[in-house]
Amino acid sequence: MIASDFLVMSKNGLYCKAGDFYLDPPGAAQVAVISHAHADHAAKGHAVRYATAPTLAIIKLRDSSICNSISVAKGYKEAFYINGVKLTFYPAGHILGSAQVLMEWNNARYLYTGDIKLQEDPTCEAAEFCKADVLITETTFANPSIKHPDPEMEIRKLNDIPYPILLGAYSLGKSQRLIALINRFCPGKRVLVHYRTEPVNQLYRQFGFNPGNSELYSRKRSKEAGIDSVYLVPPLTFNSYLRAPGVVRLFASGWDHLQVKNGTGLFISDHADWDDLLTVIRLVKPSEIWTVHGSGVYLKEHFRNSLIVNILA
């Protein structure tokens, strides 16, 4: 039977009382289950954290202090228990190591998706869904008017730019996906990467997800590559190169407001759009949907006669 308070939104994010643990808490917690290594899901300071091995490796790369706490690695589909709640990770297709968390308790199944992506991406494990009574999902782009364009069409725009390109992207997940896309669809371009992105690339390779050819940025290499160069940089660096002369600036994101004004937009998102979310709901077949991150109002309206939709946050 579904317990309406199995997960509650506390001051420190989603809390499971039966298991006494938090899901992706934004602040330090005694026990945290982490869906993936993006900073807004993997906060610092937990005493005990459960995650997949790649997620823990990425967190460790960014925060060596986790060595002072307990990290428990669990593989996909490897069930484990926290205080009587049975948990199982399923691939979320978002970035390397990203996981959905299936929680089983008192004859009900609760699936927390974390961030999910259905679009093809060779740089991470493909999303896999299981049936659940309650689907707890992000609603970052849960709006019928949002449809992410085909990433192949988007990345091919680079081929039409006869200038060096400064490409802004998050260093974890998005950058590796872009390297793979450029390798495949823009073979004339040379990818140069920022020194802060390279260690993440190395981790991806270590876990068997080689993003493809890229070189560490240097002035010499950039000069050699000339108009074929695509210099991939994290957002902070991107914003500090405001006036780079003769360089076309692009920021890769699913968000409108992050696109460079008056420039070419590069709409490549690592989240589910409206249609993808409906696909997920068809696959999971929940009788209730609980929403977090973003706005659940469109889902609530869409399913008003067929499903219970609770907006948790």
| Positions in the binding site for Zn ion (CB under 5 A) | 38, 115
Label residues 76-111 b or e (16+ Cβ within 10 Å = b).
Answer: eeeeeebeebebbbbbbbbbbbbbbbbbbbeebbbb
Smaller CB distance to Zn ion: residue 207 or 303?
A: 207
Structure tokens at 235: 């957002």
DSSP 210-271: -----EE--HHHHHHHGGGEEEEE-HHHHHHTTT-TT-EEEEEES-GGGSPTTS--EE--SS
Contacts of 264 (CB under 8 A, 6+ apart): 157, 161, 248, 250
Cβ of residue 95: shortest distance to Zn ion, in angstroms? 6
Cβ-based nearer residue to Zn ion, 124 or 165? 124
Cβ-based nearer residue to Zn ion, 56 or 225: 56
Taking a C-beta distance cutoff of 8 angstroms, is the pair 239, 209 a contact?
Answer: no
195, 156, 220, 192 alpha-carbon torsion, rounded to 10°? 10
Going by C-alpha positions, the residue among 167, 182, 181 that lies closest to residue 234 is: 167
Query: Smaller CB distance to Zn ion: residue 6 or 50?
Result: 50
Q: Supply φ then ψ for residue 7, to 5 degrees.
A: -125, 130
Report which residue type is found at 195.
Y
Tell the smallest beta-carbon distance from residue 271 to Zn ion (Å): 8
Q: How far is the CB of 270 from Zn ion (least distance, A)?
A: 7
Shortest distance, position 156 Cβ to Zn ion, whole Å: 25
Q: Whose Cβ is closer to Zn ion: residue 115's or residue 273's?
A: 115
Nearest-CB residue for Zn ion? 38
Shortest Å distance, C-beta 53 to Zn ion: 18
Indicate the residue among 237 and 269 with the shorter CB distance to Zn ion: 269
Residue 116 beta carbon to Zn ion: minimum distance, rounded to whole angstroms: 9
